[in-house]
Amino acid sequence: MRGWFATHWPAMVSLGFIAAMWTIATQLDWVSDLFLPGPDEVWSAFLDILQNGYKSRSLWDHAGLSLERVLTGFVTGAVAGTLLGLGMGYNRKIEALFSPFIEFLRPLPQLSYLVLLIVWFGIGELPQILLLFLTALPVSAVAAMDGVKSTSVQRMQVARTLGASEWHIFRHVVLPSALPEIFTGARLAIGVVYATLIAAEIIAGSTGLGWMILDAGRFLRSDYVFVGIILIGMMGLGLDRLLLLAERRVVHWAGKA
């Protein structure tokens, strides 16, 4: 416990300072409640939504639908992107074939093709999940490709000298060397996917935390908006911590001499 506190006390002090300034600003009416509701108002709004739901759905329904969309789009996009990136990094023909598509899609703003997905597939789950899939795909692909290309040439030559086949070289040399980059790409992808989710739910959805934030904002319910923002942030932080934990278990040698 003492070790945990020694590591995390700066974050705790920072959060405490923000909470104190938030409370002081609202209690002394430095900012209107319309723009910045106090912590007590946000807590009351959370309890209200928790007990009564929002627009005929419970808070857990909205949060669960958002999480389901994130996980479906992220997992499918990250897996497909990682496999594609591994192939692009290991084989120049595959890179030449798919690199133009990845390089075109990577800097493209996600909302620019959300409208097209809505035209093709209508309002609903499919365009939102496809958008999240296409968001995670290029980030994961580039990370995996960079990981493969950063593999030590000397290690690959030694494996060939010892008689290893190309498959064994890829499995036992290239893939382990690329794993740190793959996990880094996954953490970057989950952040981008989460940010894109909110826009997707606002434009193409009628459920979820992103939609709830937009709808509450229309009625000037800033307290509900803050509840949604805090929940989204906590869920995103939780997913990132899970990925970091998985990275530490799978790539346990990373950073060690």
CA distance 103 to 84: 13
What residues contact 118, with CB distance under 8 A and at least 6 apart? Answer: 127, 203, 204
More confidently predicted of 249 and 141: 141
The tokens for 143 are 């990370």
Q: What is the 3-state secondary structure (H, E, C) of 157-184?
A: HHHHHCCCCHHHHHHHHHHHHHHHHHHH
* Band of residue 255 on the pLDDT scale cut at 50, 70, 90: low
**Residue 7's pLDDT is what?**
66
pLDDT digits (tens, 9 = 90+) for 179-220: 888 888 888 898 888 888 887 887 777 788 888 888 888 888
- Whether the predicted pLDDT of 5 surpasses 50: yes
Place of tokens 């690199």: 99
Kindly report the backbone phi and psi dihedral angles of residue 122, in degrees, each rounded to the nearest multiple of 5, phi listed first: 80, 180
**Residue 257's pLDDT is what?**
44
- Whether the predicted pLDDT of 103 surpasses 80: yes
CA distance 132 to 135: 5
CA distance 41 to 224: 9
Q: Which of 72, 70, 68, 80 is nearest to 105 (CA)?
A: 80
For 57, the 3-state DSSP assignment is strand
Tell me the one-letter amino acid at 238: G
More confidently predicted of 166 and 141: 141
**Residue 136's pLDDT is what?**
92
Mean pLDDT value across the chain: 84
Q: Mean pLDDT across the stretch 98-102? A: 89
List C-alpha distances in Å: 107 to 89, 94, 132, 138, 173: 20, 21, 15, 9, 31
CA distance 44 to 31: 19
**Residue 99: exposure state from Cβ atoms within 10 A (0-12, 13-18, ≥19):** middle
**Residue 247's pLDDT is what?**
80
CB atoms within 10 A of CB 116: 11
* Band of residue 47 on the pLDDT scale cut at 50, 70, 90: very high
* Band of residue 77 on the pLDDT scale cut at 50, 70, 90: very high
CA distance 174 to 152: 8
CB 250 within 8 A of CB 183: yes
User: Which CATH number applies to 39-250: 1.10.3720.10, 3.40.47.10, 3.90.226.10, 3.40.630.30?
Assistant: 1.10.3720.10
**Residue 17's pLDDT is what?**
81
